[in-house]
Structure 1
Amino acid sequence: MDVTLGVGQSSESEMVYRLGLQWDFQRSWWETSTGRLTGYWDTAYSYWQGDQTSSNHSLSLSPVFVYEFAGERFRPYIEAGIGVAAFADTEIEDRDLGSSFQFEDRLGLGVRFGADQDLGLRVIHYSNAGLKNPNDGVEVYSLYYRMGF
């Protein structure tokens, strides 16, 4: 199990703080001298600190695929995933998410170093995919640190 701490800003200028737990897939595919494809399950709690409106909270669960490039001390990687999230409130500043249920799409890049540590950047988009109107959606741009236990 790994723990991730993240801090970022939403497209609505809210500060977003994220605490996550990850479990590796325990599998890899397409292993070559260049790298390998692997992944993990990510579950997280996020606190959205509002400027204009009250704060919000969300819980999420996502499978995330990671392409890790080969390296000895530093192993750069890219990641992508699509999962689900539940928000306590459907409003984030001026945006109306339309429902508490949201899809969580993510893209990220980072570097692994030391014994099971990561540092990276990530963008996450939340949207209900048009299942309910309105569907304003929101993005989060964040820096994160991940440590294995």
Structure 2
Amino acid sequence: MTQLYFRAVLLLIFSMKVTANDTNFMSVNVGYGPQPSAEVSQRNYTVGLDYEFYRYKRSEKQWLSLGVGYSYVGTDYEHNRSLHAVSLYPQLTLLATPYGEWQPWFFVRALAPTYLSEKNLGTRTQAKHFAFQAQVGLGLIHQPSKWNLALSYKHFSNANLYQPNDGIDIPLVFNFGKRF
């Protein structure tokens, strides 16, 4: 089943229109950290891939974009050890004034519809396979090369549409990518 999810994400990513105007952005991410408010000690980790395929530039300091993401999420808890998540995300990106070749940036994703392969991860339970992804982070863009670095916090839950709705969190996610 894992290969099916991975193939679906790759098919979606590579079927997107690719242009050479800085609209596309690909990043890999890895993350780890304790699950806040878990009944027992639980540490979650993730490895993922994000592909941003549309960007609406509101100004030199702000843009809205759409992308797809795949996340493998695991835990050190003895039961319900992993799941796969596929998301379609909207993202708001805010850019600060550059410092030499580096430009600080901030991003937020909210209400990104997500399919979860499992309803349980460790002690955390979602009522359905449907959830939302939320992610917030900040980082640096190397302007000449368009390489990006960021640290973020990633969360999955169903926004209390269904019960139970135990959120799944990865507190520290490192993102590394390139705009092309």
Q: TM-score range by the shorter chain?
A: 0.7 to 0.9
Task: Name whichever of 134-143 and 8-17 sits farther off.
Answer: 8-17
2:95 is aligned to 68
Q: Deviations over 1:46-82 (max 9, x none)?
A: 2323422132222222111100113141111111112
Matched, 1:27 2:56: yes
Gaps of 5+ in 2: 1-24
Q: Is the alpha carbon distance of 1:131 and 1:145 closer, same or farther for their aligned partners in structure 2, counting shifts above 3 Å?
A: closer
Matched, 1:9 2:39: no
Q: CA deviation at 1:24?
A: 4.8
Deviation beyond 6 Å, 4+ runs, structure 1: none
Q: 1:49-128, aligned counterparts within 5 Å?
A: 49-57=75-83, 58-71=85-98, 72-82=100-110, 83-113=112-142, 115-128=145-158
Contact 1:56 1:87 in 2 (8 A): no
Contact 1:119 1:146 in 2 (8 A): yes
Q: Structure 1 or 2: larger helix share?
A: 2
Contact 2:58 2:64 in 1 (8 A): no
Q: CA deviation at 1:123?
A: 1.2
Q: Structure 1 or 2: larger strand share?
A: 1
- The one-letter code of the counterpart of 1:61 is L
| CA distance, structure 2, for counterparts of residue 39 and residue 22 of structure 1 | 14
- Which residue of the other structure, out of 131, 135, 143, is the alignment partner of 2:173? 143
Q: Is the alpha carbon distance of 1:94 and 1:26 closer, same or farther for their aligned partners in structure 2, counting shifts above 3 Å?
A: closer
Contact 1:121 1:141 in 2 (8 A): no
Percent identity, please: 16
TM-score, length of structure 2 as denominator length: 0.70
- Which residue of the other structure, out of 63, 68, 72, is the alignment partner of 1:38? 63
| CA distance, structure 1, for counterparts of residue 92 and residue 163 of structure 2 | 30
**Secondary structure at the residue paired with 1:79?**
strand
User: Number of residues paired by the alignment?
Assistant: 145
Q: Is the alpha carbon distance of 1:6 and 1:116 closer, same or farther for their aligned partners in structure 2, counting shifts above 3 Å?
A: farther
Q: Is the alpha carbon distance of 1:86 and 1:50 closer, same or farther for their aligned partners in structure 2, counting shifts above 3 Å?
A: farther
